[in-house]
Amino acid sequence: MSSYFTDLAQQYIDGEWRPGTGSWDIIDFNPYDGEKLASITIATVDEVDEAYRAAERAQKQWGETNAYARRAVFEKALAVIDAREEEITDVIIAELGGTRLKAAFELHLVREFLRESVQLALRPEGKIIPSPVDGKENRLYRVPVGVVGVISPFNFPFLLSVKSVAPALALGNGVVLKPHQNTPIVGGSLVAKIFEEAGLPGGLLNVVITDIAEIGDAFIEHPVPKVISFTGSDKVGRHVATVCAANFKRSVLELGGNSALVVLDDADVDYAVDAAVFSRFVHQGQVCMAANRVLVDRSIQAEFTEKFVAKVGTLKTGDPRDPQTVIGPVINSSQADALSGVVEQAIAEGATALLHGSVRENLVEPSVLTGVPADSELLRQEVFGPVVFLVPFDGEEEAVRIVNDTPYGLSGAVHTADIERGVNFAKQIDTGMFHVNDGTVHDEPLVPFGGEKHSGIGRLNGETTVDSFTTTKWISVQHGRSRFPF
């Protein structure tokens, strides 16, 4: 594993591994024990430019390459991951503080999206459109946008990098990837290494490890990329969208969430408890789709609360290398401090802590809070960690109002014995995704993924990925002679 943090602690530009030329280093730490994993000299504005120019040069030939030939790269990438599964698992655990369960979950989804990319290369289809003009043939072509810039987050960096990088490449584009500073290996150079070993031509995928303190808006302002795919907070997403719009480029934004899991009066309580615990506490709650709020009909509130608190109390917090650990460290001390602040603020506002987890460095034990005032901003914001709010309600109408009372609209779930009741409930929620009798955390390669309101703009996966990373080109052919008015 250590070789990953030495060999891959570099920039990857134009098919070459090389150090950055910035004046300072990004230090990559293990969030569990504070071990220094790597020191990476950052990329400068000049290197961002070199990366984009390399992608632009390489893309010309790649975009003209037979789609069947492009598929082979993704098939080989799958083989590389299969051969390195144990090593990659260890790297995810070390750099993210992810548990073994989380690493397996992320690797499974990465494979699914790579398999879809094999097929995606063949997905774009042209059309012949009828014309009101005699003898005119209208051809509509699907063509690559050219170069895509990808900015990935720290929570599922391997998946959320591959999820944009692989489809963009499969559809004939070049890519420049900027991973989060806390996960430069798993979210950046590991992806480059896998594609390098899979035979991707040099220059098509570039990775720049840097910080906005060094490059400012250069990554998104650069004239080469036509699309920026960003996954992260709504605050940063708003800025990305603004800069992209000012520079006439498209943005695909997968942003934060404040999902609710709703338990109606006829739900299977034990099953709903299992779904709610997973939905809130998977990867320490550092998931945009996580259930920040668990809404329970007052008629079953007592039973649900007792069983929910009991199950949460069994979750082991500790060393993510231990297979028994369910909750590992949050990504850094700032995140741990912020979560402590959320719990203290809730209690100060009058909430009751049914579980009040301790905080030891980056290890944050679960907290379960009830009685948070209805007008508290805590119920409307994203909480990125193992803190959950239990909220009672009286009837579906009130539940719908509470669920929608947030600027976010990413995911959610409802539990009920009546499936159509659940579907009707889901239709009333302002979200991009909603699940009946399941958890809130789902992602599938063929199903459009994205949110409403502050949770993002655009969709990824399946056909929506084709829409995001290609553009349409109209070429008309006039058979015979046109008539012109002068």
Give the pLDDT band (50/70/90) at residue 367.
very high
pLDDT over threshold 80, residue 2: no
Domain co-membership, 232 together with 320:
no
Domain co-membership, 311 together with 239:
no
Residue with tokens 């003209």: 64
Residues 338, 207: Cα–Cα separation, whole Å: 30
Token pair in block for residue 472: 């349409």
The answer to whether residue 337 sits within a structural domain is yes
Domain co-membership, 174 together with 216:
yes
Q: Of 225, 240, 232, 275, whose CA–CA distance to 439 is shortest?
A: 275
Domain co-membership, 248 together with 270:
no
Domain co-membership, 135 together with 185:
yes
254 is catalytic: yes
Domain co-membership, 328 together with 359:
yes
Give the pLDDT band (50/70/90) at residue 386.
very high
pLDDT over threshold 80, residue 232: yes
pLDDT at 276: 98
> pLDDT for 82-127, tens place per residue?
999 999 999 999 999 999 999 999 999 999 999 999 999 888 889 9
The answer to whether residue 483 sits within a structural domain is no
The answer to whether residue 54 sits within a structural domain is yes
> pLDDT for 135-147, tens place per residue?
999 999 999 999 9
The answer to whether residue 482 sits within a structural domain is no
The answer to whether residue 138 sits within a structural domain is yes
> pLDDT for 3-17, tens place per residue?
899 999 999 999 999
Rg (CA), the chain: 24
Give the pLDDT band (50/70/90) at residue 159.
very high
pLDDT at 123: 87
Domain co-membership, 265 together with 245:
no
- On average, the pLDDT of the chain sits at 97
Alpha-carbon separation of residue 330 from 270, 282, 317, 327 (angstroms): 28, 12, 11, 9
Which phi and psi angles does 472 have, rounded to 5°? -100, 145
Q: How many domains does the chain have?
A: 2
pLDDT: which is higher, 153 or 125 = 153
Name the DSSP letter for residue 265.
T
pLDDT at 115: 95
> pLDDT for 425-447, tens place per residue?
999 999 999 999 999 999 999 99
The total of other beta-carbon atoms located within 10 Å of residue 109's CB is: 19
Residue with tokens 């990305």: 240
User: If you average pLDDT over residues 269-273, what whole number do you get?
Assistant: 98
Domain co-membership, 10 together with 108:
yes
Find the catalytic residue in 116, 288, 382, 396: 288
Contacts of range 310-318, beta carbons closer than 8 Å, 24 or more positions apart: 311/273, 311/274, 311/277, 312/277, 312/281, 312/355, 312/366, 312/368, 312/388, 313/355, 313/366, 315/277, 315/281, 315/366, 317/357, 317/363, 317/364, 317/365, 317/366, 318/363
Give the pLDDT band (50/70/90) at residue 189.
very high
Domain co-membership, 177 together with 314:
no
Give the CATH number, domain containing residue 321: 3.40.309.10
The answer to whether residue 444 sits within a structural domain is no
User: If you average pLDDT over residues 173-190, what whole number do you get?
Assistant: 98
pLDDT over threshold 90, residue 315: yes
Find the catalytic residue in 254, 365, 382, 396: 254
> pLDDT for 252-269, tens place per residue?
999 999 999 999 999 999
Domain co-membership, 263 together with 251:
no
Which phi and psi angles does 266 have, rounded to 5°? -105, 15
What domain range includes position 301?
259-436
Domain co-membership, 361 together with 402:
yes
Residues 300, 312: Cα–Cα separation, whole Å: 18
The answer to whether residue 443 sits within a structural domain is no
pLDDT at 1: 64
Helix (H) or strand (E) holding 206: strand 205-207
Token pair in block for residue 146: 């050219």
Give the Cα-Cα-Cα angle 326, 332, 334 (nearest 5 degrees).
Answer: 120
Domain co-membership, 227 together with 105:
yes
Q: Are strands 470-478 and 136-144 parallel, antiparallel or unpaired?
A: antiparallel
Give the CATH number, domain containing residue 15: 3.40.605.10
Model pTM score: 0.96
pLDDT over threshold 70, residue 384: yes
